[in-house]
């Protein structure tokens, strides 16, 4: 089923978008960041944006990705936000990075809900075993762990894994298995070991580097990655979540690639866009997703 998803995230609010920027509230604080898909005009005036924003990201003229934050006196460099769904109560630390990110992608909360519910449904005589690849600061990891799953969290950046561990502790959880490694190398080794998982979460970047400098290019490597994951996922009572952020890569493309690797799912199958709508009624797409549960 094709569907656009917007999570109910009390500590997050998209205030305005336009002219390739977005104005967002994370907890008590408002950030102003570049947003390449906000091709329309802003609803609020420039004076309002300046008044509302506590931190504004300014790109370095020499870099497409890097830049610096300009802060008002009351803006801390670190703070926390919370997220709740069912019996899940998460607490995550945010920080202002030189790549404009703050530590979470709020639209992913729609997938956190799915992951939590799926792990609860799969738990029975033993906890569900979940593999989270390209796992970043661990929102999906925490959702699975909060549901009682045994979670393996894989990311190639040691500092990010440390950040995810802090989020686990903020959330009052424990027991996650942390792996600092190139995701493709890890799944290839897991295939050779004959290991299996009840749930696999994939959140690959368009481009990236592994822990030892391995090069990741989404279009070149996603087929190989999905083929390995198809061998790792249990054939029955299992789920998959795939996120794509690259502009131009649709959820239909994700569905086609997954179906080639895994076959046509026998149970629930969903795909579409993850979105938020700003206060002016402008709907902003923030990524595509594909997921199934069989």
285 assigned to some structural domain:
yes
pLDDT digit string (tens) for 134-192?
A: 999 999 999 999 999 999 999 999 999 999 999 999 999 999 999 999 999 999 999 99
Quick one: average pLDDT of 212-238? Answer: 93
Q: What is the distance between the alpha carbons of residues 41 and 20, in angstroms, rounded to a whole number? A: 8
Residue 238: predicted pLDDT:
98
31 assigned to some structural domain:
yes
Residue 94: predicted pLDDT:
98
- 198 shares its domain with 89: yes
- 95 shares its domain with 66: no
- 48 shares its domain with 114: no
Q: Of 18-27, 85-94, 206-215, where does mean pLDDT reach its minimum?
A: 206-215
7 assigned to some structural domain:
no
- 146 shares its domain with 32: no
- 179 shares its domain with 61: no
4 assigned to some structural domain:
no
191 assigned to some structural domain:
yes
Residue 145: predicted pLDDT:
98
- 266 shares its domain with 171: yes
| Number of domains, the chain | 2
2 assigned to some structural domain:
no
36 assigned to some structural domain:
yes
- 67 shares its domain with 87: no
Beta strand pairing call for 129-133 and 150-155: parallel
Band (pLDDT 50/70/90 cuts) for residue 207 is confident
Residue 246: predicted pLDDT:
67
Band (pLDDT 50/70/90 cuts) for residue 104 is very high
Is the confidence at residue 89, as pLDDT, over 70?
Answer: yes
Band (pLDDT 50/70/90 cuts) for residue 244 is very high
Residue 125: predicted pLDDT:
87
84 assigned to some structural domain:
yes
Is the confidence at residue 247, as pLDDT, over 70?
Answer: no
- For 26, the domain range is 12-71
- 253 shares its domain with 127: yes
- Grouping H, G, I as helix, E, B as strand and the rest as coil, residue 186 is helix
Q: What is the CATH number of the domain that holds 227?
A: 3.40.50.150
Burial class (CB in 10 A: 0-12, 13-18, 19+), 117: middle
Burial class (CB in 10 A: 0-12, 13-18, 19+), 249: middle
Residue 161: predicted pLDDT:
98
Which pTM value belongs to this model?
Answer: 0.95
């Amino acid at each position: 089923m094709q569907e656009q998803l917007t999570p109910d995230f009390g500590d997050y609010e998209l205030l305005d978008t336009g002219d390739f920027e977005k104005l967002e509230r994370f907890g008590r604080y408002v950030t102003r960041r570049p947003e390449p898909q906000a091709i329309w005009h802003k609803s609020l005036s420039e004076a309002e944006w300046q008044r509302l924003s506590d931190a504004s990201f300014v790109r370095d003229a020499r870099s497409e990705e890097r830049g610096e934050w300009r802060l008002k006196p009351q803006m801390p460099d670190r703070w926390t936000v919370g997220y709740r769904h069912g019996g899940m109560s998460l607490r995550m630390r945010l920080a202002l990075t030189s790549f404009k990110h703050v530590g979470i992608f709020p639209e992913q909360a729609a997938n956190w809900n799915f992951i939590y519910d799926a792990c609860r449904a799969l738990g029975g005589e033993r906890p569900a075993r979940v593999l989270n690849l390209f796992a970043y600061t661990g929102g999906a990891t925490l959702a699975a762990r909060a549901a009682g799953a045994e979670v393996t969290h894989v990311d190639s950046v040691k500092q990010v894994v440390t950040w995810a561990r802090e989020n686990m502790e903020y959330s009052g959880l424990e027991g996650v298995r942390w792996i600092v490694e190139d995701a493709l190398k890890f799944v290839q080794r897991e295939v050779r070991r004959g290991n299996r998982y009840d749930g696999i979460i994939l959140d690959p970047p368009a481009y990236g580097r592994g822990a030892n400098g391995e090069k990741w290019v989404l279009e070149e490597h996603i087929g190989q990655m999905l083929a390995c994951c198809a061998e790792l996922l249990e054939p029955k009572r299992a789920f998959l979540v795939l996120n794509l952020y690259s502009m131009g890569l649709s959820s239909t493309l994700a569905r086609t690639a997954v179906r080639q690797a895994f076959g046509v799912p026998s149970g629930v199958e969903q795909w579409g866009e993850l979105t938020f709508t700003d206060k002016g009624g402008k709907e902003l797409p923030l990524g595509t997703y594909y997921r199934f549960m069989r």
